[in-house]
Every structure is written in structure tokens, then in C-alpha cells.
Amino acid sequence: MAAMLKLSLSYLSRSKIQNLFIALLILLSTLLVSTAVIILANTGNQFKNMHDQTNGSHQILTFEKGLNDPNDVHQWWTAQKGIEVSPLLTYHTLSGITFKGMDIPNVYLYMLNTPSPPWGVDELIFSSETARNDVPEQGKVWIPTSLANAYNISVGDTVGFKTGSSTLDLKVSDIVVDLPYGAPFTNTARVWMNPTDYQTDFDSIAGKDNYMMGIHFDDYSTNSSYWERYASETGTPFLEAKMEFESISSFYLIINQIIGFIMIFLGIVMLVIALITIGFTISDAILANYKTIGILKSMGLTSSRTIGTYVIQYSLLSVVAILPGLALSVVISKFIISISVSSLQVGNRHIAINGISEAILVGVCLFALVILFVVMYAKKARSIQPVQAIRYGMSEVDNTRIANRINSPLGNWVGFARLPVAVVIGIRNLIKNTKSSVLMLLLTTMASSVLVLGYVLLTSITGIYQTAAQWGYDNANIAAVVVNKNTFPQAELKQALGKDSRIRNVGWQGNITGVVSPESSSEMQGQSTSLYLSVLDGSYQELGFETLKGDNPRQANEVAIGVSVAKTLNKELGDLIDLYIEGEKRTFIITGIYQAIANMSVSGRITIDAMRTVNPSYGDFDAIFINLKDPTQADTIAGELNEQFKASASVVTQKTLLDSVYAEAADILIYPMSLIGLLFILATFIIIFSTCRISIRKESRTYGIYKSIGMTSRRIRLSVAMGITILSAIGAILGTAVGVYVLSMLLEMVLSGYGIVHLPLILNWGGIILFACLSIGAATLGSWFSSRVIREASPRMLVIE
């Protein structure tokens, strides 16, 4: 045992840099895999814990169209068993705020008349720990974390809420977690007002009160039976807007699921590469010490003890690397989780992190895998024959194989005789060390794919306005969102748009709730389902709405449906679907299927003609889409229209509208994607440094001969680096294809649950090539630094080695 330990320590001390890098590689593998495990273990937990703590809603009903009496609906649901209902909340809608001199137009607000507690459902979690009143004090409001985080609003700040021609200045007295309307990257928020302020401030503002209520089911899966009973007892289905639990939770979960998926996939890849690298390092260490092992075996050292020396060596390295890797993974995962669920965190409240035990288990499994690979590869030492070891420095079979590889047809096909000497040396190094070359090719491919995926994903989100139609939005230049329908001068806006010669076309959009008849599909098994229906007075094609299959509706009997609806109902183009609209049944032909991240593709599109077969006087529009003859004038025209109609509408460019929603998503994603990219760049440097160091040590005699015949150290090092650069360039090309096409396809599997089955990517090839080349730089630097031993050693010492 003492001999084994002494040999292990000698191996550690003799190759300090290489062993340091192997330990660092194990640490990085542990860090990435355990961080991914912790993030996945916490995906959904933070939201679920907060939903349980606040007794959150499963469905939110809003009453704005006058199609159902809010008091009757509230009374019916209050009388049901197995559910809890929030108070009937009264609110006015406003659009836009001013804060610290900034004008922020694209914020849509429900200004609530705060009822006295207890509410029973959607209880608020407050940022301050001090005692507070049951409702906000006069002149003060409570705002949600989503609004506070988006614009860095703190307790004590004064926010101006736009009421049209004037501004309502109110002081923020507390920041709250408001689960139904507090998801990240949203531009809709509930603001809780003092009841006296609400009555005083909105008495002078035209428009009627609107209402909303939340429903919490003891068993959410039974909600369909309640709604069937509601329709049966009241004689009509619910016709107002209904927000489902899936929509409430989706944006809380989507970022963590994307991050967790990417990290666990790439963490496994990193782990596989690390284990292969360790096995490769052991194989080459055995080969490099072939003579020494042969001599030791001739002196009586058994094969088992020879294997044991490597087990001890890598056990020590693993313990030293895995423990700090686990500790760092907890810190990093907590940071990533905190920024991805920041809207669920208030004040200095501690975030409970789950999955620590799973991370420890990952560390134990990684240690066991390292030892398993050590034993598997170190078993090669059993076959070492002392005589062959002393004569060839390797087995006779390996010696013959390497000689045949150098003289293979590949070498002749490449045409070594016609290439410059430096190129020949570089390529010879790759051909002779096939296993290490394959490993480096795999590594640079994966590193490039990770960097390219991160760049493409962030570019696609920050530039979402360029692919808005593929995400389910319109592609118009300007959007006017109606805030106060009671005072909205629809005829005046129509006249203004009709007279403006700069405008090419206009579309007026309304939103209603459609109920799918159970007879429409055998998949529904007697249950009805609601979907968001878009009603457009205009052309879907002209306004840029896209479909995955088929076309948008043009006739009164046509409909386009979201992919989630098509999947749930098992519908295809040309099929019929029955929809109840305002209580009346209509049959439509499905002409198109589209994807939309909004409402998770549980939606449909119909024409104004279809709506007017139900309600001939329909004119309840929520948004107006405007296309310009010259899109560069969008900011100017939007500003003019917003100033003219600011009392009841918010007019902004499409870019402003989308940036306000998705900029936060990009800000959250940039940190984990940057971390993963840096880890892979570091791993590329480490592994290529290590493998090149091994191959240089094996070829030390050859390089000594090169130096003795007049080649400079710099020229030899450049030759080695040139070969690695060529190999990594091939890897970067393959990695670019993998990152753009393969990994994005895997990511679509995650997003399909959110209504996106085809990920709209923006491919900026200049940036893609730049990020792909980062792995080439890391590989080149790794090979260059590893070859310093050639510069530092004399030809005589190299030949002696």
C-alpha cells in the first residue's frame, strides 16, 4: 500500500499542471450538472409554494363586455362546494405611467378598489415586515413585484398613473407578490388603491367600473364539471374573459424550464467529455510510463497494484474537485433561480432552495463514474509485457499500429511531400494521435454549438419584433391599444386614420371568448373548453399574421386555430369545428393552424363577418393595427396619435410593445447562457492543453530531433498549434450546424408546451461566426501554452526523454 501511495503522489507531483487541469475539469463537470439538477428540482417549486401560500387562483374571470352579470356569477360560484372565491374586485383600466421623468407608455394597469381582508383567494405577500393597514393609506398604493422590478420602483417612490389628459400621482407604500398578474416579462399589472382614493379619483374620469374575481379549486382537475353545471343551471355559457391556470403559471415556469433543459443537456455532454478525457489521460499516462511500468512489473509490482496507483491518484483529484464544485453549484443555482423568479421574491425574504440532496447524489455518482472509468482504462496496465515495454516503450501491436497509421493511404492522399514542413508536422500530430484528435473535434463542436445557441437564442428574443408574426403576433408598424372603451372616440380615430396619407392599411381587432362544443371532437369526452378568439375587421394577411399550415380566415365560415387547440381536439385543415360565441353555436371550417406564445396557442382567429352573424352591431375593439407606407415614420406617427388619443388609448410602435415584454426575458437568460458558454470555453482550453501536453510528451524524442536539425521551438509550436486550429475550425463548422439546427430543435420540445412548435430564429451569421470562432481561439491557446515545454527543453534532453 505504501508503494502504491508513493507512486500515486509521484504521478501527482510530476504532472502538476496537467493534474490541476484534470481536477478543474471534474470541478466544471460537477458544477454544470449539479447546477442543472438544482434548477430542475426547483422548476415549478417556487411558483407552487407561493401559489399554496397565497391560496392562489386557478382561474380569473374578468367582466368588461357586459355579457354576464358579475354579481350573479359571483353569487353562483360562492354557493359551490369544493372551491373558494375571491371578493368581486372593482377596477378601472389605465395605460402608461411616468416615473422619475420617464414616460413609460406600454404598461396596462388594473387600478383596483382594495377590499378589506380576508380575501381567501390570492392573498398578497408584502415586501415590508412592519405592520400595515388592511388597505393602502390615502394617497398611496401597493404595486406588484413585476412592475417594481421592470422599472426599478422602490417603496417610497411616487409614480404617475396616466388618466388621459392628467396624471394621478400616488406614492408606493408597499410592493407585493400578486400571483395572477405578477409574472415576469408582462406589461399588465394590478395596482391596489385606497377605497376613498378610488372613489374620488375615478368619479371624475369617464367610464364605468369593471369587475374581476378569482376561483381556487380544491381539485383543479374538476373545473370542467363545475363549468358544465354553471352552463346548465344558468342556461348560458360564461361569455366574458376567463384566464386559465396554465396561462397564469406559464410565464413563471418557462424561463426556468428553458435554462434547466439547456443546462442538464449540456451538463451531461460536459460530463461525458470529462470522463472520456480522464480515460484518455490515463491511457496516455500508461503509454507515457510504459517503460517505467514494465520495469516495476519486472521488479514484482502486480497489475492490481498498478491499477490501484491510478485509482488513488484520481480519487484524490476527484474529492478535491467535486466538493468545491458542489458548493459553487448551490451558490450559482441560487443566483439563477433568484433572477428567474424575481417576481416571486419580495424584500430580503430567503429563497428556499430544493435539490441539495440531489446535487450531493450527483457528486457521489460523478465520483463513482470517475473511479469506474479509471479502473476500466487502467486495466490496460495488465497487458504490459516488461520486455516489449523496455524495447518499444509500448506494446509491439501498438507500435506496429502507429507505424501503419503514419504510412496509411490518408497520408499519401493528403500529399505530405508537397505540403510545407510546418503543415506536415501539425497534420502528422493529428493523424498519429487519433483518439485525442476525435476528442478535441467533439469538444470544439460542442463548445461552438453552445456558444452559437446562446447567441442565436438571445438575438432572437431581443429582436423578436423582426419575427413577431412567427410568435403569433401581428406584423403591423403601430398598435393602438384601447384602454377606456367607454370614452374611446372610435369614429374620430377612424376618420383620423382615413385622412392620413402616410397610412397604408388598418385593422381593428376585438377579443372574445369562444367555447368549443363537446361534439366537435371525441377527444373532449363531454367536456367543453374555452379559447381566446381574435375578431379582425381587416385582412390578417395584410397585417402580417402568419400560419404554420393553411391560411388565415377570409370568409364568415372560416377559422384559424392555435396548435394547442388543434392538438387537443385532433383537428386538421379542412375539418369542421363548432364554437359557441355569445351563446350561439356556429360551425367553422378550419383553414389554418398557427402558433402563438400568447395564451399558449389556446386561441383562434375569425373575421368580423363571422362575428356579425352572431352580433350584427359588434364594434367592441381592443386594438387597432396600423401599417405605414414608410415604416421609418412609425415613431413619429405613433407619437402624434398617442398625444391625440391618450385619454382612452395607448399608441406605440410594435417594437416598443414587444421590447417592453421580452427585454426582461433576454436579461434573465443572458446570465446562465454566459456561464455555460464560459464553462465550455474553459473546458476546451483545459482539455486541449492536457491532451496536447500528453501527445507532446509522447513525441518529445521526435521534437528533439526536429530541434537538433535546426527547427526553432517557435516553428515547432506553431506547427502543433496550426494542426489544432485546423481541427477546431472543422469542429466550429460542425458546432454551428448543431447549435443552429439540432439544439434549437431540442429546445422546441420544451416550448411546444407553451404553444411554440417551431422556434423563430434570427440568424445573424456575422455574430454566429464570431461566437463559433471563440472555441477555435480557446483550442489554439490551449495547444500553444501546452507546447511551452518544447521551448524550455534542450534538444539533448528531449531526445533523452
Q: What per-residue confidence (pLDDT) applies to 769?
A: 92
Taking only the tens place, the pLDDT of each residue in 23-58 is 887 888 888 888 888 887 776 677 888 888 889 899
Secondary structure of 70-82 in HEC code, one letter for each residue? HHHHHHHHHCCCC
What percentage of residues in the chain have a pLDDT greater than 90? 18
Secondary structure of 563-613 in HEC code, one letter for each residue? HHHHHHHCCCCCCEEEEEECCEEEEEEEEEEECCCHHHHCEEEEEHHHHHC
Q: What per-residue confidence (pLDDT) applies to 351?
A: 66
Q: What per-residue confidence (pLDDT) applies to 417?
A: 54
- Which one-letter DSSP state was computed for residue 139? T
Over range 470-491, report the average pLDDT: 85
Q: What per-residue confidence (pLDDT) applies to 557?
A: 92
Torsion of CA 384, 388, 393, 397, to 10 degrees: -80
Amino acid residing at 749: M
- Measure the CA–CA gap between 197 and 168, rounded to whole angstroms: 10
Q: Give the side-chain half-sphere CA count within 13 A for 707.
A: 21
Would you state the cell numbers that stand for residue 208, as one nine-digit string?
364605468
Strand partners, 603: 532
Over range 93-118, report the average pLDDT: 84
Say if residues 215 and 58 touch (Cβ distance below 8 Å): yes
Instruction: Give the residue carrying C-alpha cell 481561439.
Output: 777
Q: What per-residue confidence (pLDDT) applies to 39?
A: 80
Over range 389-410, report the average pLDDT: 50
Q: What per-residue confidence (pLDDT) applies to 15?
A: 66
Phi–psi pair at 402, nearest 5 degrees:
-65, -40
Count Cβ atoms below 10 Å from residue 495 Cβ, excluding itself. Answer: 11
Instruction: Collect contacts of 427-430 with beta carbons under 8 A, ≥24 apart.
Output: 427/723, 427/726, 428/723, 429/695, 429/699, 429/719, 429/720, 429/723, 430/723, 430/724, 430/726, 430/727
Would you state the cell numbers that stand for residue 624, as one nine-digit string?
387597432
The alpha carbons of the chain give a radius of gyration, in whole angstroms, of 33
Say if residues 318 and 17 touch (Cβ distance below 8 Å): no
The more confident residue out of 623 and 309 is: 623
Q: What per-residue confidence (pLDDT) applies to 399?
A: 52
Q: What per-residue confidence (pLDDT) applies to 295?
A: 60
- pLDDT-based confidence at 560, cuts 50/70/90? very high
- Measure the CA–CA gap between 779 and 685, rounded to whole angstroms: 6
- Measure the CA–CA gap between 90 and 742, rounded to whole angstroms: 49
DSSP secondary structure of 230-297? HHHHHSS---SEEE-HHHHHHHHHHHHHHHHHHHHHHHHHHHHHHHHHHHHHHHHHHHHTHHHHHHHH
- Measure the CA–CA gap between 454 and 669, rounded to whole angstroms: 9
Taking only the tens place, the pLDDT of each residue in 343-370 is 777 766 666 777 788 888 988 988 888 8
Q: Which helix (H) or strand (E) holds 125?
A: strand 125-126
Return the minimum-mean-pLDDT range out of 450-464, 476-490, 513-527, 682-696. Answer: 513-527
Query: Closest by alpha carbon to 335, among 26, 35, 661, 743?
Result: 35
Q: What per-residue confidence (pLDDT) applies to 409?
A: 55
DSSP secondary structure of 46-60? HHHHHHHHHT--SEE
- Which one-letter DSSP state was computed for residue 757? S
Q: Is the dihedral of CA 459, 461, 465, 469 positive or negative?
A: positive
Q: Which residues contact 501 (CB under 8 A, 6 or more apart)?
A: 629
Return the minimum-mean-pLDDT range out of 243-257, 290-304, 348-362, 718-732. Answer: 290-304
Query: Closest by alpha carbon to 509, among 621, 356, 408, 418?
Result: 621
Say if residues 326 and 21 touch (Cβ distance below 8 Å): no
Say if residues 579 and 614 touch (Cβ distance below 8 Å): no
Return the minimum-mean-pLDDT range out of 125-139, 349-363, 377-391, 424-438. Answer: 377-391
CA distances from 93 to 64, 97, 188, 300 (A): 10, 12, 10, 88
Would you state the cell numbers that stand for residue 645, as one nine-digit string?
388619443
Q: What per-residue confidence (pLDDT) applies to 187?
A: 78
Out of 132-136, 258-262, 269-273, 370-374, give the one with best mean pLDDT. 370-374
SS3 content of the chain, % helix, strand, coil (to 5): 60, 15, 25
The more confident residue out of 282 and 611 is: 611
The more confident residue out of 334 and 665 is: 334
Taking only the tens place, the pLDDT of each residue in 208-236 is 788 999 999 998 888 888 888 888 888 87
Given a cut of 90, whether residue 546 has pLDDT beyond it is yes
Q: What is the mean pLDDT of the chain?
A: 81
Would you state the cell numbers that stand for residue 237, as one nine-digit string?
355559457
Longest distance between any two alpha carbons in the chain, whole Å: 102
- pLDDT-based confidence at 418, cuts 50/70/90? low
Over range 312-340, report the average pLDDT: 84
Q: Which helix (H) or strand (E) holds 446?
A: helix 434-462
Burial 627-663 (b: 16+ CB within 10 A, else e): bbeeeeebeebbeebbeebbbbbbbbbbbbbbbbbbe
Return the minimum-mean-pLDDT range out of 273-287, 634-648, 653-667. Answer: 273-287
What percentage of residues in the chain have a pLDDT greater than 70? 84
- Measure the CA–CA gap between 697 and 313, rounded to whole angstroms: 20
Instruction: Give the residue carrying C-alpha cell 405577500.
Output: 125
Over range 367-395, report the average pLDDT: 64
- Which one-letter DSSP state was computed for residue 495? H
- Measure the CA–CA gap between 598 and 415, rounded to whole angstroms: 59
Q: Is 741 exposed, middle or buried (0-12, 13-18, 19+ CB in 10 A)?
A: exposed
Instruction: Collect contacts of 66-71 with beta carbons under 8 A, ≥24 apart.
Output: 67/239, 67/240, 67/582, 68/236, 68/238, 68/239, 68/240, 70/211, 70/213
Say if residues 513 and 614 touch (Cβ distance below 8 Å): no
Query: Closest by alpha carbon to 241, among 488, 67, 109?
Result: 67
Given a cut of 70, whether residue 112 has pLDDT beyond it is yes
Over range 690-713, report the average pLDDT: 75
- Measure the CA–CA gap between 631 and 265, rounded to whole angstroms: 42
Over range 524-530, report the average pLDDT: 56
Q: What per-residue confidence (pLDDT) applies to 285?
A: 64
Over range 715-736, report the average pLDDT: 88
Q: What per-residue confidence (pLDDT) applies to 672?
A: 81
- Measure the CA–CA gap between 362 and 35, rounded to whole angstroms: 10
Taking only the tens place, the pLDDT of each residue in 162-198 is 876 678 889 998 888 888 888 777 778 899 999 998 8
Out of 140-154, 263-277, 404-418, 669-683, give the one with best mean pLDDT. 140-154
- Measure the CA–CA gap between 742 and 331, rounded to whole angstroms: 31
Torsion of CA 614, 619, 621, 627, to 10 degrees: 110
Amino acid residing at 713: S
Count Cβ atoms below 10 Å from residue 499 Cβ, excluding itself. Answer: 8
Q: What per-residue confidence (pLDDT) applies to 525?
A: 46
Q: What per-residue confidence (pLDDT) applies to 393?
A: 46
- Measure the CA–CA gap between 775 and 686, rounded to whole angstroms: 12
- Measure the CA–CA gap between 680 and 270, rounded to whole angstroms: 8
Over range 580-599, report the average pLDDT: 88
Is the bond leading into 118 cis (omega within 30 degrees of zero)? Answer: yes
Q: Is 65 exposed, middle or buried (0-12, 13-18, 19+ CB in 10 A)?
A: middle
Instruction: Give the residue carrying C-alpha cell 407608455.
Output: 105
Q: What per-residue confidence (pLDDT) applies to 301?
A: 59
The more confident residue out of 646 and 206 is: 646
Given a cut of 60, whether residue 524 has pLDDT beyond it is no
Q: Whole-model pTM?
A: 0.78
